[in-house]
Amino acid sequence: DFPIFITSIHLSMKFFISQMWSVSPSVEKIEPLTCRTWSTVVFPIGLLIAVDIILSNTAILFLPLSLVTSIKGSSLIFTFLWGIIIEIEKFQWNLLLAVLGITLGLAIAVANSLQVNAVGVALAFGAACAGGLRWALLQLLEFKDPQSKSVMVTLYRFTPASLISVLPLVLMIEADKLYSSTFWRHKKDLYDAILLCSFGGLFAFALVVVEVKLVRLTSALTMSVFGQIKEVVQIFLAMMLFGENLTFKSGVGIAVSILASIYYRYVI
């Protein structure tokens, strides 16, 4: 019921860890960015991360997790398109074929879902679009700022923008509901929830470190392709933990997605 509040805890953990790292004696001085780079690249990255997480967490309130995961698989297409638009990727037909194959496979995997809600679908597609642009801009940041080739410097640069973007939304949208909820009346439940979300924030931090490192070693598009393996795992977990059925069609879709990922690895 509090997707934005949960998001703020995750982002707070990322902000706290990156800021603590930056004051470590072993860390070289981090040079400030130009106003243009911060306003056109770094702040949009932070904002898009917040938008992606908020829309994803909210979409789960309307749709099964497996369906949200499938729709977010379309972020691969958005990453491909944004990469071409900002000129960090070159258009290639074989790459487009691989991208469409992976996305089609994920779509087939949950095509038999009857729990479709238009609001949830719109939220999930919005998250996919935001995620695609975020990864493209992360790759662009490396070109504009040599220090951002370091994963931790990259996190240090955009985590404040992420947190700044989401805190006003917590206050405007969820503060009253949180204040009137049982969490506020039973402080132990609130503290337990914050602690649990903090652990989730640590896992989220570890995940984003790996994802940013992949972008640095390869490209935004390649990272998105490898990210589809995570989506496949999420679909399996949703089916096992939440009782979402794995049909023959779902199995075929997952197989198509995996084969397309292998094809992509072959053509790059």
Both tokens of 122, joined, read 């719109």
pLDDT of 136 > 70? The answer is yes
pLDDT of 208 > 80? The answer is no
DSSP assignment of 25-81 equals TTSPPPPPPPHHHIIIIIHHHHHHHHHHHHHHHHHTTTS-HHHHHHHHTTHHHHHHH
Q: How confident is the model at residue 112 (pLDDT cuts 50, 70, 90)?
A: low
Q: How confident is the model at residue 8 (pLDDT cuts 50, 70, 90)?
A: confident
Lowest mean pLDDT among 25-29, 152-156, 223-227: 223-227
Residues recorded for the chain: 268
pLDDT of 234 > 70? The answer is no
Residue pLDDT, tens place only, 54-104: 888 888 888 777 677 777 777 777 887 888 888 777 777 777 787 777 777
Both tokens of 5, joined, read 């509040």
pLDDT at 44: 92
Specify the pTM.
Answer: 0.73
Both tokens of 39, joined, read 């306003």
Q: Which residues, 6+ apart, have CB-to-CB distance to 159 below 8 Å?
A: 11, 14, 15, 18, 19, 46
Q: How confident is the model at residue 226 (pLDDT cuts 50, 70, 90)?
A: low
Residue 132 contacts residue 77 (beta carbons within 8 Å): yes
Both tokens of 93, joined, read 């037909």
- Averaged pLDDT for residues 192-201: 76
Selection from 265, 153, 158, 150 nearest residue 217 by Cα: 150
Task: Break the chain down into helix, strand, coil percent, rounded to 5.
Answer: 80, 0, 20
